Amino acid sequence: MADSLEMTTLGGGCFWCVEAVYQELQGVQSAVSGYAGGAVENPTYYQVCNGITGHAEVVQITFDPNIIAFEDILYVFWRTHDPTTLNRQGYDVGTQYRSIILYHSEQQRAIAEKSKRDMDASGLWPHAIVTEISPFTTFYKAEDYHQNFYRDNPYQPYCLAIIDPKITKLRKEFRAKLKDAS
């Protein structure tokens, strides 16, 4: 990784959704779906979906902080999933779908905790934010068929029903931060 790039790992429900959102942003070099936050080494999708690993579906994001700040990464995070539902995003239920920020440095921890406090105080969400903020340990890349899922399967029913509205919202609200902004 180039010296100017940073990495963070976020979970906000299904990793297909999180990956699709961050692939749209200027300054994001990569968004890789995977598993983190649990105890089982080299978990499979089947194991994670059955809730036996402790891992969450996450996306590891490599970004250029000279183009997009970590604060902006979190700004998008808070607005593209519901951080007030414990272990759930819509119909996706279980600890693997928890809202989680896995920080890669003490600076990221401090920024994430402040961002969470500010978001809680903002009134954007009617209930308290339950997002877990924990130190990053290990990331396990998900199986190849999970990578670039939305880009490769835009007409799949889940993509049409769940991811398209998130992307539409992102394009309306964050136009200045998008890769294809005009």
d(CA 4, CA 95): 33
14 counts as catalytic: yes
The residue annotated as part of the active site, out of 14, 17, 49, 159, is: 14
Residue 12's H or E segment, with its range, is strand 6-12
Burial environment of residue 77 by CB neighbours within 10 A (0 to 12, 13 to 18, 19 or more): buried
d(CA 173, CA 105): 29
Q: Which residues are catalytic?
A: 14
